[in-house]
Every structure is written in structure tokens, then in C-alpha cells.
Amino acid sequence: MLDFPAYPIQEIETLPQLVDVEVPPLRSWETQGNMLMMLLRNQEEVRSLEPDMARVADLPYDEIIITAKGDDCDFASRMFAPRIGIPEDPVTGAIHCSLIPYWAKELGKNKLFARQVSERGGELFCSLDGDRVKIGGHATLYLKGDIYVDEAAVAVAVN
């Protein structure tokens, strides 16, 4: 279980001129961390979205969050960030700092089950606790190893 700050969101009336998505969002917000969050009608619209990554990379946002109320979960999402070298992150913790407070308020509950509906996808068990969000789920081991730190190098770096 990860413990992060809840990010405030600020609704925007007009999307940036370069946003030309196949499915126009119902609402949009700017959020802390230079992210744009867009609400679509349903989970299938989020899942089937195929954005033009070159156009997304031209947006003045580091991350684009797409979300909708879920069919088999409380809410679904995807995250695109080609501007910072990540075409799509299959399961993202940081975007849930904005998503959890929004959906907790929208659905009237503080414990939420979320799906990131990228091709690989993932399930997240979330909660809102005041100004903090808790994000948990199952993970797959990607890399295992040992790191050895040279104490002399650490002493120089600290000074």
C-alpha cells in the first residue's frame, strides 16, 4: 500500500487547442504535477481510445489522464505521457493522487476499486484518507538485485 498526497484539481472550461480526441470529454481539469484530466462517458470509451501520440506530445502537459465511471469497478483510467518519454504507462500511481479524491467525492465513498484499462492493465485498491490517498494492488516482480554503495562516495555527495 502506497501513501501519497491528494492532488487538487481545477476545472477548465476550454481544452487546449491541440487537444483533438476522438471522443470529446464531458469535463476537464488541470491537476498538480502538470497533468490534464479528462472525463469520458464510460469505461469502454477509455479502453478503446487510440490517441495520436505526436499530438499528445505537443500538449503543454506532462501527463494526460483519461477516466470514466467503471462498468466492473468504481472508475477506469489510462495515462499517456509521450512528452516525457512514456507513450502509455500501463498502471500508474501518481495519476491516482487526482483520480481518487475526484471519484471519492463523485461516488460518495472513500474506499474505491479502480482499473487502469491499458493493454496490460491493472487493478488498484484505493482509499481517500483526509488529504492523503492510499493506493495498493498486486505487482509482478520485474527485477531483483543487490546495490552496493561506496561509503566514501556517499560522504562526498552529502557534503
- The set of cell numbers assigned to 25 is 470529454
Predicted confidence (pLDDT) per residue in 122-139, tens digit: 999 999 999 999 999 987
Cβ contacts of 112 within 8 Å, gap of 6 or more: 74, 75, 100, 103, 104, 125, 126, 127, 128
H/E segment holding residue 53: helix 53-57
Print the domain residue range for 30. Answer: 2-158
How does the average pLDDT of the chain come out, rounded? 89
pLDDT digits 0-9 by tens, 105-127: 999 999 999 999 999 999 999 99
Distance from C-alpha of 36 to C-alpha of 130, rounded to nearest angstrom: 23
Please state the domain count of the chain.
1
CATH number of 18's domain: 3.10.310.10
d(Cα 10, Cα 46) in Å, to the nearest integer? 21
Judged by DSSP in three states, 119 sits in coil
pLDDT value of position 59: 87
Say what the pTM is: 0.84
pLDDT tier at 19, thresholds 50, 70, 90: low
The rounded distance, in Å, linking the Cα atoms of 143 and 60 is 33
Per-residue pLDDT, 122: 93
